[in-house]
Structures are given as structure tokens and as C-alpha cells.
Structure 1
Amino acid sequence: MDDQLLLALVVGGATLLVTLILGFALVGGDSNTASTKRRLAEVGSGHGPVGPKPTQRNTARRQDDASGIKIVDTLVRKLVPKPAELRSRLEKTGRKITIGEYSLMCLVVVAFAWVVMRFTFGFGWMLTISVGLVAGLWLPHWTVGFMGKWRVNKFMKHFPEAIELLVRGLRAGLPISEAIVTIGKDAPEPIATEFRGVADAIRIGKGVEEGLWDVAKRIDPPDFKFLIIAISIQRETGGNLAETLAGLANTLRKRRQIKLKIKAMSSEARASAWIIGSLPFIMFFLLWLANDEYISMLIDDPRGIYMIGAGLFMIGTGVAVMFKMVRFEI
């Protein structure tokens, strides 16, 4: 086998593997357990909204997913394996990003990475194509996940205060629909935007739970679903909703305090993971700037390529394990 082809396959494969490992470690999945999701789904199925007709939903999605470029839209409809899941991820960002626009962004990243690797560093075709595909698939996916996670965390940061605002409105004698309007006016973003959407849904005839379940599609944590379940149970069984929501707000605030305490206690391990994972790349870059001929020997020799691939694999595995060790479910 040609040395250049072998080099491209080894480096491309190692880069893909390390990228996937680091992406899983840093981005990860939802921190909720499967049993929690299943219980919430079972409880919510009895109180969830009745969805619109399939024809209306599909028509709206075709219009929303269009990017304006016919070729891109055609490829998206044929090649995207799970459009509903991707659409849900895009909605969590709070921005009106269609699937077509997201796919176009992926193609732009692929082209940019290929041009940089090919014409700036002079790598071969196989390596540049592999790196371009990895960058085009992973970087937009990570960016969307980061934006969605940042928005959800910002929402949950002020969520107990929003519940207390709802409690004060109920204790003042306001119906829950008017209390939700108050949250939409006085709460910080993005809570205000989401509750304004609930208020608008109530005005057009939807129920409170139905509007809140629509928000729950974009706000995943069970803390928000606890609010919907509490309202649903109170409507069926009766009771003092203000006291129930006040207790919920207090519980959510204590949970957040525990999470922050755990984050502070595990900060040393996370910092070690960042330092250990980034130090080899920093040293490689500094040595390349100081003496590129010295580094080129490692790249030109096939044995050096094997060593780079093994090093990347071990670094990625170690960083992934360290990040998983400092993740706790509360």
C-alpha cells in the first residue's frame, strides 16, 4: 500500500475517532436517566395536548425547513435520517434555523475545512476529504448542541424565580392564565419569550397544560415538566396550587445549589482534563513553529503516523473518561 494513502487513512481514522470521543465527552447526551424520561412521558401522555392534523403539520414543516436553494432542500429531504430529532435540536437554540439552512452550513464548513487543509497545509486528497467531512458533520452539530444547552441552562437558572412570580400572582387572586402573562412581561429572557408563547396559545383557545407542553419540547429538563404535572394534578384533584408551586420552587432552588456545589468540588478534575487533553496539541504547535523540520520527520515517517494515531486515541479516551467521572445526576 502506498505510504501516502496509508498516512491519510491512519490520520483520518484517528482524527475521526478522537473527534467522536471528545464530542461525546464534552457534549454528551441528556443527563436524565431513561427511567425518569419514561415516567415523565407516561404522566405527560395523559395530560399532553392533542397534536394538529398530520397534513397541517407536514405542510408547515416543508415551509419551515426550506433553505431557499432547491438542490440543498432536495438533498435534505432524501439524506437526513431523522428530521424530527434534528428539528427539535434546532428549536432548542431559540433561533429560527431550518434544516435546510443547517445543512447548508454543514456544506460550507466541509468546503472551508477542505480548502484550508488542501491549500494551506498541502495535505493529500484522502486526508483533506476525511477532515472536511468530520469538521462539517461535527462542528455544526456541536455548535447547535452548545447553543441549545446554553439556552436551557439560562432558562433553568431563573426558573425558580419565575415560579415564585407565578405564585405571587395566584396569591393575589389572578387566574393562572393572567399570572403566565405576568411572567411573560416581567421575567428575564428566555423565560419571558417562552411564557409569552404560552400566553399566546391560551388566547387562541389552547389549555394551559397544552401550551406548557409545547414549551417542554424545547426545554428538556424534568424541572420544567414538574411544573406542568403539578398544574395538571391540581386541576384534576384540587388543592392549593400556590402552595404546591412554592414548594416546587424551593425544591428546584435547593437542587441547583447542590449542582453548583458538586461543580465546584469537581472543578479540579475538569481543569486537569482540559490541561492534559490540550497540552500535547499546544506543544506540537509550538515545536512546529520553532523547528518545522524536526516535526516533519514525525509526519513523513510511517512509524510516526502510527505513533500519532495511538497518541490521539489514548488522549481522547483519557479525556472522555475524566469528563464522565465528574458528571453526576441530581
Structure 2
Amino acid sequence: MQNAILPILMFLAVIMSVFAVYSLVTDIFVRDRKRVQDRLDVEFHNKQREKVKRSLLYKGTDPFQFNPSDAVQLRSTWSEWLQSILDQSGLEMTKSRLLIYTVSVAIGCGVLSGVLIRNLIIGLIVAVFSSIIPLMYVKFKRNRRLEAMRRQLSDAFDLMARILRAGQSMSQAMQAVGNEFASPIAEEFAYCSEQQNLGLATELSMRDLARRTGLIEINIFVVAVLVQRQVGGNLSEILEKLANVVRERYKTRGAIQTLTAEGRMQASILMALPPLLLVAMLIVNHDYAMVLIHQPILIGGMAFFMLMGGLWIRKIVNFDF
């Protein structure tokens, strides 16, 4: 009997030892990981709070006495459009810094091409066309960020619907999205929640959310929330239906991107072919290519018609639905 009990006790002792070692190691590493994650969450919310305090909507107003009807109607100007592009890109960049980058790239590319080709007019043409590179980079980052946000929207609306059904408020639902999701949707919803926590009117903060994101799905969400605040209704059910609509729109958008992939590839090849051939001729037969270089009007016309063709193809393969 004792010989039968001894192996069982040894087996239990080994299991308990392994469990104790596992618990110790897990406690050490998970505790440190949780502490780091908590600090990151605190820093994230502090950053959003400081960003709200620096915003133009918060400056110069008493947040506890602010009336949305007293807000000045924003006019669509070039400066505001540029600021919206920067906000939607998620880059920590101001309009003045973007202007500095634009001027620097234009001067650098223009001087470099002018020195290499030894033609002032060509240098000016290159400077003009290269000045749009920083803005193109900002728009590229903006498109990637908005596409990532579209992928997260349906799940975020589902989470908000469940939280509202549990009896929580809209501000708490938006804060939950900021806590549970990754960037970029976490940043935008946490920013909107911090605006409301600092006393900014709900209507104004929601409209600012729609302006910063620039997505039609967010615009629909903002309109639904504002209408529900005025006339009432089941907001959780509205968010569930909106999540289904956003999910179907994303599927349709993916199908459109697949069907228009050939057109976009053709546009890229047609836009890249003339400059690449010019560079190849400069390397292979320099004297022959310099005949074209000494005709800046032809190069300017080629660049103009290439730009028009690229915009035309872009208009064909990109459309709203």
C-alpha cells in the first residue's frame, strides 16, 4: 500500500512544483508587463488631454459655459483644408512645418537638377513639380490611416452598442473604444472623450470628430448620435445596424479595389515610363538625350500632359459610393 501511495505523492509534488515555478515566473513577467501597459495607457490619455487643451476649440472658451449655438461657423478655406489633411494623417506636423518641408524639397531638387543638367529652366520645372512631394507623403499617410480606421469601425460600433445596452453612457462607450482598440481609432475616440471630459459641448466634440476623420461612416455615426440626443431612440440598435452597414461597405470597397487594380497598375506604368526612358537615354546615349533637354518647352508639355492623364485615370478608378 505504501509503495502505491509513494509514486502518487511524488507525482503530485512534481505537479505542485511546476505550478509554483510557473506562477512565480508568470507573476514576475506579467506583473512587469501589466505595469508597463498601465503606464502606457496613462501616458496615452495624458497626451490626448494635452492635445485637447492645445486645440483651437478649447482655447479661448470657458468649457463649463460654452454654448454650441455660439460657435462660429467654419468656412472651407485652403488653410482649413490643409489642417484637416494633417489631422487625418495622424502626423505631428503643423502647417508651417509642412511649408518649410515643401520649400526645402523644391529648392533642393531644383538646384540639384539644374546643376546636373546645367539648365535653369529645367531646374525651375523640377522645383515646381517636386514641391508637391511633401503633400503627397501627407496624403499617403492619411489614406493609410483612414483605411486602417475603416477596418476597425464595425467592431468599434459593435462594442459601443453592447456598452450602451449595458446601461453606460456614450462618453463611457467612446472611452472604452479608446481603451480596447489600437490606433488610429483609439486616438480619435479617446480624443473626443477627453474633449467632453474637459467640458466641451458634446455636439461640438462630435462634429470635430467627423471633421478630423473625414470618413462618411463617422459622419453618419455623428448624425445618428446628435439626432438621437434631440428626438430619442434606441441608440444601441442604431449602432448595431450601422456596424453592419459599415462592414458591407468595406466588403464592397475591397471588391472595387480588386476590380480597378488593373487600371491603377496601368496608370503607374504609364506615369513612370517617360521619366525612366529619359534617364535611360541620358545614360546610354547622352548626346541624343541632350537634344531633348535643350527643349524645355517639350519637357514642360510632356509633364503637363502626363499630369492630366494621371488625374484622368485616377478619376476613372476612384469614385464614391
Give the secondary-structure state (helix, strand or coil) at the position aligned to 2:320.
coil
Cα 1:203/1:315, change in 2 over 3 Å: closer
Kindly indicate whether the alpha-carbon contact (under 8 Å) linking 2:207 and 2:222 is maintained by their aligned counterparts in 1.
yes
CA deviations 1:267-316 (Å, max 9, x no partner) are 1121112122222222222222222122223334x4xx555445444433
Change (3 A) 1:131 1:299: closer
The DSSP-based 3-state class of the residue aligned with 2:233 is coil
Q: Which runs of 5+ in 1 are unaligned?
A: 1-50, 58-80
CA RMSD of aligned residues (A): 2.4
Which residue in the other structure is 1:56 paired with?
60
Take 1:308 and 1:132, find their aligned partners in 2: how far apart are those partners? 14
Q: Where does residue 312 of structure 2 map in the other structure?
A: 321
1:128 aligns to what? 123
Distance 1:307 1:175, change over 3 A: closer
User: Do 1:216 and 1:224's aligned partners in 2 also have CA atoms closer than 8 Å?
Assistant: yes
Q: How does 1:235-314 map to 2 (within 5 A)?
A: 235-300=229-294, 302=295, 307-314=298-305
Q: Distance in 2 between matches of 1:307 and 1:107?
A: 25
1:212-227 to structure 2, matched below 5 A, reads 212-227=206-221
Cross-structure match for 2:49: none
Instruction: Tell me the SS of whatever aligns to 1:218.
Output: helix
User: 2:105 corresponds to which residue?
Assistant: 109
Q: Structure 2 length normalisation: TM-score?
A: 0.70
Residue 243 of structure 1, CA deviation:
0.8
Following TM superposition, by how much is the alpha carbon of 1:162 offset from its aligned partner in structure 2, in angstroms? 0.8
Q: For this pair of structures, how many residues does the alignment match?
A: 251
Partner of 1:69: none
> What amino acid maps onto 1:154 in structure 2?
A
Q: CA 1:251/1:274 → structure 2, altered by over 3 Å: closer, same or farther?
A: same
Q: For residue 213 of structure 2, give the secondary structure of its aligned residue in structure 1.
A: coil
Query: Residue type of the partner of 1:162?
Result: A
**Alignment correspondent of 1:181:** 175
| 2:191 paired with 1:197 | yes
Whether the aligned pair in 2 keeps the contact of 1:212 and 1:228 (CA below 8 Å) is yes
Residue by residue over 1:142-171, the C-alpha shift from the partner in whole angstroms, topping out at 9 and shown as x without a partner, is: 222222232222222211111111112112
SS state of the match for residue 56, structure 1? coil
**Does the 8 Å CA contact 2:192/2:205 hold for their aligned counterparts?**
yes
Which of 83, 93, 97 is the matching residue for 1:97?
93
Pair 1:169-2:163 in alignment: yes
C-alpha change, 1:194 and 1:314, in structure 2 (3 Å) is closer
Amino acid aligned to 1:194: E
Classify 1:328/1:84 alpha carbon distance in 2 versus 1 (closer, same or farther; 3 Å).
closer
Amino acid of the structure 2 residue aligned with 1:230 = A
Deviations 1:8-51 (A, max 9, x none): xxxxxxxxxxxxxxxxxxxxxxxxxxxxxxxxxxxxxxxxxxx9
Change (3 A) 1:257 1:90: same
- Structure 1 counterpart of 2:198, which letter? I
Residue pair 1:159, 1:191 contacting (<8 A) in 2 also: yes
Deviations 1:178-226 (A, max 9, x none): 1111101011211111111122122222344332222222111221011
Residue 115 of structure 2 aligns to which amino acid in structure 1?
F
Of 95-104 and 185-194, the range deviating more from structure 2: 95-104
Gaps of 5+ in 2: 1-55, 62-76
Which residue of structure 2 aligns with residue 232 of structure 1?
Answer: 226
Over 3 Å counting, the alpha-carbon distance change for 1:264 and 1:52 in structure 2 is closer
Q: Is the 8 A contact 1:113 1:132 kept in 2?
A: yes
Cα distance in structure 1, aligned partners of 2:246 and 2:148: 14
Determine the C-alpha separation between the residues in 2 that align with 1:201 and 1:308: 51
Aligned 8 A contact 2:125 2:300 in 1: no
User: Which entry has the higher C-alpha Rg, 1 or 2?
Assistant: 2
Q: What's 2:4 paired with?
A: none
Secondary structure of 2:269's aligned partner: helix
Q: Which amino acid aligns with 2:145?
A: R
Identity, in percent, stands at: 25
Whole-Å separation in 2 of the counterparts to 1:52 and 1:325: 38
What residue identity is the alignment partner of 2:227? Answer: I
Bigger relative contact order (CA 8 A; separation at least 6): 1
